Structure 1
């Protein structure tokens, strides 16, 4: 057994051996698990994919006279202001919620956003890039906060705190979307063509971080990670965290399972790894680069990291049925998905990923470079992630059903 402290000592002296997950998978067949364990200290995983359950917490700083924010817009995108006086949260999927041509006689509404494809993720990207963003505030007047409104232009250098707090990132597996109906469907997976015209998947498969640590033994609350081109941390389990998902004998889940809540200082991030995006007729989101270092503490780590795309599967779901539980066309392997086509009911269906396999590999490589230069050390988790969390749906009961 190695320890994280021992690995960190080697990182500081420049003697740690660091591989990306791609390098490990390419060499494990020839070298074997034991030999790789003897050589390698850290394995770097990464992904670059849409993560719309993300957002930025911002402390704007106090005005003079002071304002207690009741409503806030950043470049016309609404931010949530139900915190302290000048704290706001800008969701990646937030979009302008009023017409760009309202009644200009209404003092509380004006046409400050005329780009319907622009959302919170785009504003976050611009702030990270150092660009100026228009700020508009409406206040809740009190004795200690007498100001009614405020407008200015901000950058990341003119605000106090600007950090990402993402409630749900890094899904451990996800679904494959298809459309068995007769009309196009615009979804969070993008356009699904009718009559099984295409299939879209969003996970990077065997190189995805959590597939290579299926029982979350190597990470936990406080684990240091690559987040948006800077250092971030695992803050907690993510929303919709469902580690009790059914699993194959290799411990990988057959559908959406574990998730992570992540946080990091957005002022230090790079817009190369944080990009606003938009799905036609669905809404805004954010492409995010996340890298997770896996310490090689024992041979079991190598065994789990040796999984191939042929060894993991995802369910094919029909979005033409507008229900929480949709019919499935069964399971397909990521090797089949990455081949460019799968077969559904005897029909060949072309496939495409939402995640960028190229940029996911680049995230892992960048994290490897940081560790090799001694700029990034590993952290011990301060608490494990809950592996017994069930998944609770929200079903609507009317009064008659409740009485029955």
Structure 2
């Protein structure tokens, strides 16, 4: 018997909803079958905690007399985009100081960037705000410098153009020298294979054809409540897929936002990649309503069901060559090594499985406690 989100919310409010995390749902369907699981389970929670470069903070730092129209803004020497209204700005997670050597001189040094500023603010730390303006009759001030905390900012939203990638590359290096990438350092001659995603816990693997996720979907974001705004940049709705709907290459993405004042630094961590730069590790969790047998089937996806494309980052990736060396399952990656060109290659996760599970469990507890209800998407993501 199909359910509605309204019926599921009524059960949540009454404390009667059956909620499992995505890993638990795999076992539930194995034990009782899709039909019975669809009848018994109301919500499946997902989670991932991984570097997500296309992230940032949209903020307003407020006026004080004399007023300013800021054309350049920085926080702890990290430039923010000031080409908005007078005291509005956007800080990107991968932004570095203007004088940063981008690891060319000292490739091993730690980098502080936009993602670290976001973490510091959410952790309650003060950062140095600098703003400059060109001066107008209505905004005469030309310079402003002060310490600010997150509480001092009238408005601070995490606004991420691309999060939650539905599948991503496994990075290897067939070349003769180490390469420094956003997937971390990839050693020469197949000495490591770096990968990202949370496997069966990952949000878009549990709704692979975007049957329930879209504009207005309420989510766990950075330890607080967030919202899906729609498809993220580089959203690719129609790649080749398995019979379960799992893509064979990078596919769906999400644009998300949430109030930073309700978030936690545990789920927003600045990241520094040797030889590449900075990013932000983001905690993201999405509840999947079990409306019917189809959604019960999709949410029973296991690590063995998820193929991941292996690519050579020494040649194929920078040259834009669409070659895939092979596909391996997430279960193989998680086991610690994969075979490439007849060689056993150690695997290195960029996504924290432990933290991803923690997010899925936290979201489960919120729903079970009646603190978090589901929303119906007003516009579903493009599915091809």
TM over 0.5: yes
Aligned residue for 1:399? none
Residue 385 (structure 1) shift:
1.3
1:99 is displaced (CA, Å) by 5.4
Q: Deviations over 1:320-351 (max 9, x none)?
A: 11312254311111111111111111111111
Q: State how far apart, in whole Å, the 2-side matches of 1:316 and 1:62 are.
A: 51
Separation in 1, partners of 2:43, 2:327: 32
CA distance in 1, matches of 2:210, 2:36: 24
Query: Does residue 272 of structure 2 align to residue 278 of structure 1?
Result: yes
Deviation at 1:359, TM superposition (A): 0.4
Q: Measure, in 2, the Cα distance between the counterparts of 1:356 and 1:15.
A: 31
Distance 1:236 1:68 in 2: 31
Q: Is the 8 A contact 2:110 2:274 kept in 1?
A: no
Question: Are positions 1:312 and 2:306 aligned together?
Answer: yes
Q: CA deviation at 1:15?
A: 0.9
What residue number does 1:401 align with?
Answer: none
Q: What residue is the counterpart of 2:357 in the other structure?
A: 361
Aligned twin of 1:29: 30
For 1:203 and 1:367, how far apart are their aligned partners in 2? 18
Instruction: Kindly report structure 1 stretches of 4+ aligned residues shifted beyond 3 Å.
Output: none
Answer whether contact 2:62 2:153 (CA < 8 A) is retained: yes
1:125 partnered with 2:116:
no
Is 2:201–2:360's contact at 8 Å kept on the other side of the alignment? no
Partner of 1:82: 83
Give distance in 1, aligned partners of 2:72 and 2:256.
26
Q: Specify whether residues 220 and 276 from structure 1 end up closer, same or farther in structure 2 by C-alpha distance, changes over 3 A only.
A: same
Give RMSD over aligned pairs.
1.2
Structure 2 equivalent of residue 107 of structure 1? none
Q: Secondary structure at the match of 1:97?
A: coil
Structure 1 length as normaliser, TM-score? 0.91
Contact 1:59 1:86 survives alignment (8 Å): yes
Structure 1 residues 358-385: Cα deviation after superposition (integer angstroms, max 9, x where no partner) = 0000000000010111110000111111
Aligned mates of 1:383, 1:333 — CA distance in 2: 32
In the aligned structure 2, how far is the partner of 1:376 from the partner of 1:63? 38
Output aligned runs, 1:10-49, within 5 Å. 10-49=11-50
TM superposition shift of 1:116? 5.6
Listed as ranges, the gaps of 5+ residues in structure 2 are 102-108
Pairs within 5 Å for 1:279-298: 279-298=273-292
SS in 2 for 1:232: strand
Q: Give the Cα separation in 1 of the matches to 2:264 and 2:293.
A: 35
Q: Hey, what's the Cα distance between the residues in 1 that align with 2:152 and 2:304?
A: 50
| Secondary structure class of the residue paired with 2:11 | helix
Decide which of 132, 137, 140 is 1:138's aligned counterpart. Answer: 132
Residue 244 (structure 1) aligns with:
238
State whether residues 52 and 285 of structure 1, in contact with CA within 8 Å, keep that contact through their aligned partners in structure 2: yes
CA distance in 2, matches of 1:161, 1:117: 27
Contact 1:8/1:378 (8 A) holds in 2 = yes
**Counterpart-to-counterpart distance in 1, 2:199 and 2:110:** 32
| Aligned length in residues | 374
Tell me the secondary structure at the aligned position of residue 328 of structure 1.
coil
Which piece of structure 1 moves more, 121-130 or 320-329? 320-329
Q: CA deviation at 1:63?
A: 2.4
CA distance in structure 2 between the partners assigned to 1:326 and 1:2 by the alignment: 42
TM-score using structure 2 length: 0.95
State whether structure 2 residue 176 is matched by structure 1 residue 182. Answer: yes
- For residues 15 and 333 of structure 1, the distance between their equivalents in structure 2, rounded to whole angstroms, comes to 36
| Alpha-carbon contact 2:23-2:200 (below 8 Å) kept | no
Unmatched 5+ residue regions in structure 1? 101-114, 389-404
Q: Secondary structure at the match of 2:214?
A: coil
In structure 2, how many angstroms separate the alpha carbons of the residues matched to 1:226 and 1:140?
Answer: 40
Instruction: Show CA shifts across 1:103-161 (max 9, x none).
Output: xxxxxxxxxxxx96101111101111111111011112111111110100001111110
Q: Which range moved further: 302-311 or 222-231?
A: 302-311
Contact 1:318 1:326 in 2 (8 A): no
Bigger CA drift: 84-93 or 34-43?
Answer: 34-43
- 1:70-126 alpha-carbon deviations (Å, 9 max, x no partner): 1111001000001000000011111101159xxxxxxxxxxxxxx961011111011
